Amino acid sequence: MMIVPFTAEELDRVSLVEQSVGGAGWTRAQFEKELSIPFSRFFVLQKDRNILGYGGYWKVADEAQMTNIAILPDERRQGKGEFLLNYLIHDACKAGCRTMTLEVRSQNAGALALYRKAGFIQQTVRRQAYSQPTDDAVLMQKQLIS
C-alpha cells in the first residue's frame, strides 16, 4: 500500500469510492474543485494502482481541518483507515499545523473509535447537523506536535 497526492487522474475512481460509502457525499465536481484550492491537501490510498480510499484536509494558518476520509467497504477493519489517518496527521505536522479538527456523525461508531485511538478529543456536538439520515455532528480536535 502507498499514499500519493490526489490528482485529476484519480477523479473518477475517488468519486466511485465516495459513492460506495453511502450518504450524501461529495460529487465529482466538488472533488475537482478541491484540486484547484491551494489550501486543500488530498491523498489517495492505493495498492497496485487500485484506489482503496482517500482522505484530505484544509490547511488554514496553523490548523488542519479534516474534510474527508473514506475507505472502500470491503477494505475496512484492516488498518487501512488508521494508516491513512496517521498519514494525514503526519502531513499536517510537516506542513506546520498545530491542531487538527474534524467532525463526524455521532452514529459512526467505527470512525469515532478510530479518531479517539488517534488522540482526538470531543469538543462539542452540533445537533441535527447531518441529513440523509438526520444525525448529530461530533466535533473533535487533536493537538499536533510539529
Residue 103 falls in the annotated catalytic set: yes
Of 123, 124, 60, 111, residue with least CA distance to 84: 111
* Cα–Cα dist 113/103, whole Å: 13
CA distances from 2 to 30, 60, 87, 120, 135 (A): 24, 26, 10, 24, 33
CA distances from 33 to 27, 39, 102, 111, 131 (A): 10, 12, 20, 26, 23
Report the 10 Å Cβ neighbour count for 131: 9
Active-site residue (options: 34, 57, 75, 115): 115
Active-site residue (options: 18, 34, 75, 103): 103
Please give the positions annotated as active site.
103, 115
